[in-house]
Amino acid sequence: MNSSSISTALPNKARSDKKLPGDLAMWFFILAELTVFAIFFIGFAVNEQLNEVMFSQGKAQLHQTSGLINTIALITSSYFVALALSAMHRAQAKKSVLLLLTAKFFAVIYICVKVWEYTSLFDQGITIETNTFFTLYFLITAFHLMHVLLGMVILAFIAHSAWTNKYQHNDLSAFEAGTSYWHMVDLLWIILFPLIYVI
Amino acid sequence: MQNNSIVNAATKSWLVLIVLSVIAISLSEFIDNRSLYIISALIIVVIKGQQIVDVFMELKTAPKFWRVLFLSYIALLPLIITVIYLS
């Protein structure tokens, strides 16, 4: 191979190395989910501008520390999912399952904190019908919670598949699709947390 | 070797995300100006989002179209929210 053929071959090689993790369908599904949440987030911000006093009073009744705990729990969970995928790339399926279980443990922490948060609001007589702030708060956070629960089912599914050696011949696209979904759940919380709890 | 670098990058990102989350919740202690406070909080969102998209989702090594699409989302949405809050 002469030098000119090397120079033309290298960019092609570099291009072929760029691979989208998981299934294309999952990425379109993730885009659809991100779009729905974007509408929620923009709607929340617009309503806050229209009802500044109500929203600032509502935010003052939320527990910021529980929001921070949930942020740390989801980030850490996402981190362990990333490590689980890396372990799968090294053909360490059992280690990957352990990492996925650790990720699910942090997701359970998130759910427990969220349930505690809802319960303490209900105890104060605050419900989805209290005012616009709490309607949006419960809608957005409960919708996100549903995604966390679905993500946990997906993590359980890929963990079971890894444990039973279903991922053969380096085809990890289903595993990668599951981990990508979980990272989307984390990504959404990264925006939700400051919008509802911090700003 | 490549997997070790992925693990190292994920660990660094995890630390960055944790530190930025703590900073985000402490911003009100340091910044009195509401506009600056909102802009700072949303800049933190963009940085955190970039870490998740590039490192956790591994889109840094994905086709450019997908990386640009997701980075645009994580940049444009906070920008729109900032404009709404500051209008």
Would you kindly state where each structural domain of chain A is located, as residue ranges? 23-198
User: What pLDDT, on a 0 to 100 scale, did the predictor assign at position B42?
Assistant: 93
The SS3 of residue A131 is coil
Q: What is the CATH number of domain A23-198?
A: 1.20.120.80
Pairwise pLDDT comparison (A40 vs A11), residue with the higher score: A40
User: What pLDDT, on a 0 to 100 scale, did the predictor assign at position A148?
Assistant: 97
User: What pLDDT, on a 0 to 100 scale, did the predictor assign at position A17?
Assistant: 67
Domain that holds residue B19: 2-86
Indicate yes or no: CB of B57 within 8 angstroms of CB of A190. Answer: no
Structural contact between residues A100 and A163, judged by C-beta atoms closer than 8 angstroms: no
Pairwise pLDDT comparison (B51 vs A12), residue with the higher score: B51
What band does B69 get if pLDDT is binned at 50, 70 and 90?
very high
Question: What ipTM was predicted for this assembly?
Answer: 0.92
* Region A92-108 average pLDDT: 96
Residue A7 reports pLDDT greater than 80: no
Residue A2 reports pLDDT greater than 70: no
User: What pLDDT, on a 0 to 100 scale, did the predictor assign at position B2?
Assistant: 64
> What angle (nearest 5°) sits at the alpha carbon of residue B24, between those of residues B21 and B25?
95
Query: Which of A2-6, A33-37, A147-151, B20-24 shows the lowest per-residue confidence on average (mean pLDDT)?
Result: A2-6
What residues of B are in the A interface, CB distance below 8 Å? 3, 6-7, 10-11, 13-14, 17-18, 21-22, 24-25, 27-28, 37-38, 41-42, 44-45, 48-49, 52-53, 55-59, 61-64, 66, 69, 73-74, 77-78, 80-81, 84-85, 87
User: What pLDDT, on a 0 to 100 scale, did the predictor assign at position B4?
Assistant: 76
Residue B76 reports pLDDT greater than 70: yes
* Region A85-104 average pLDDT: 94
What band does B8 get if pLDDT is binned at 50, 70 and 90?
confident
Quick: pLDDT tens for A63-89: 999 999 999 999 999 999 999 999 999
Alpha-carbon distances of A130 from A50, A55, A123, B83, rounded to whole Å: 17, 12, 13, 28
Pairwise pLDDT comparison (A171 vs B84), residue with the higher score: B84
User: What pLDDT, on a 0 to 100 scale, did the predictor assign at position A156?
Assistant: 97
Pairwise pLDDT comparison (A100 vs A2), residue with the higher score: A100
Residue B15 reports pLDDT greater than 70: yes
Residue A5 reports pLDDT greater than 90: no
Residue A12 reports pLDDT greater than 90: no
Closest Cβ opposite residue B77 in set A46, A68, A191: A191
CA–CA min distance A59, chain B (Å) = 13
Cβ neighbors of B25 (< 8 A, separation 6 or more) are A64, A67, A68, A197, A198
* Region B42-58 average pLDDT: 95
Closest Cβ opposite residue A49 in set B63, B77, B84: B84
Indicate yes or no: CB of A186 within 8 angstroms of CB of B22. Answer: no
User: What pLDDT, on a 0 to 100 scale, did the predictor assign at position A1?
Assistant: 42
Amino acid B60 reads: K
What does pLDDT average to over chain A? 90
Residue A171: is it exposed, middle or buried by C-beta count within 10 angstroms (0-12/13-18/19+)? exposed
Indicate yes or no: CB of B42 within 8 angstroms of CB of A72. Answer: no
User: What pLDDT, on a 0 to 100 scale, did the predictor assign at position A169?
Assistant: 65
Domain count, chain B: 1
- In 3D space, the residue among B10, B21, B2 whose CA is nearest the CA of residue B57 turns out to be B10
CA–CA min distance B1, chain A (Å) = 10
User: What pLDDT, on a 0 to 100 scale, did the predictor assign at position A9?
Assistant: 44
Can you tell me the distance from the alpha carbon of A15 to that of B64, in angstroms, rounded to the nearest whole number? Answer: 10
Chain B positions in Cβ-Cβ contact with residue A199 (cut-off 8 Å): 37-38, 41-42, 85
